[in-house]
Amino acid sequence: MQREIACDFRETTQVWIRNFLAPSSCAFCGMLPVVKENICDACFDDLPWNEAPLSLTPGVLDCSVAMLQYAFPVDVAIKALKFDRKLFYAPAFVEILREGRSFLPEDIDAALAVPLHWRRKTLRGFNQASELAKPLAKSVGVPVIRSVRRCKATPFQSGLAAVERAENLRQAFIAPTPIQRKHVLIIDDVITTGTTVQAVAKTLLSAGVAKVSVLAIARAGH
């Protein structure tokens, strides 16, 4: 117990020193964080956390983890990250995703950001899922693979019904070469119907991956 207290005190002190030398503001309220690096304690506690982040999904996905509900201020922040280039939200979302590590299977050996079509990535300038996957994979200790490509420039999924989403993503992803991984973790921002991550998962499984799970910032709907 004393060792744990000393460890917590040391980590808190390091954060205080880092913030004093190079202060960073909370991504949600603009105040200086107390313990978290990019989210203050008050905002962290007030986020719309899912009471049951883990969903067991037999079939295509081994498991699905979404930390938050797609509600204010998370919905606004995700849109700002994706469409307004507010990249300061990315480190904050990575902190949130790290909270989901305890729900993930222990045999994950690679991470994959949901790929964007090259045209949309060029227009946007970045892939928001990649901005989340790279630091998250580093903290988990697994590599980020780029073995799946989005070969079809599909319209935005928002506003489409489940059947339309599935048709929209038919043959949208390809894996040009076999993937020799035991369990790949897909990283995405929002899960709505799950159509996108299931399409990516099917591509991974067809390429030789044994199991696929997904970790997302938020889940829209129920």
Could you tell me if 112 and 12 lie in one domain? no
Number of domains in the chain: 2
Range of the domain at 22: 1-46
Structure tokens at 119: 């045209």
215/107 Cα distance (integer angstroms): 15
Q: Is pLDDT of 16 > 50?
A: no
On whether both 26 and 79 belong to a single domain, the answer is no
For residue 144, name the pLDDT band (cuts at 50, 70, 90).
very high
Q: What local confidence, expressed as pLDDT, does residue 165 receive?
A: 58
pLDDT score recorded for residue 14: 53
Mean predicted confidence (pLDDT) in 173-197: 95
- Provide the pLDDT for residue 167: 56
Mean pLDDT value of segment 170-186: 93
Same domain flag for 33 and 70:
no
Phi (first) and psi of residue 131, to 5 degrees? -65, -25
Reported confidence tier of residue 202, pLDDT bands at 50, 70, 90: very high
Task: With CA atoms as reference, report the closest residue to 111 among 182, 202, 203.
Answer: 182
High-pLDDT (> 90) share of the chain, %: 67
- pTM for the complete prediction? 0.83
141, 87: one domain: yes
Residues 61 and 18 in one domain: no
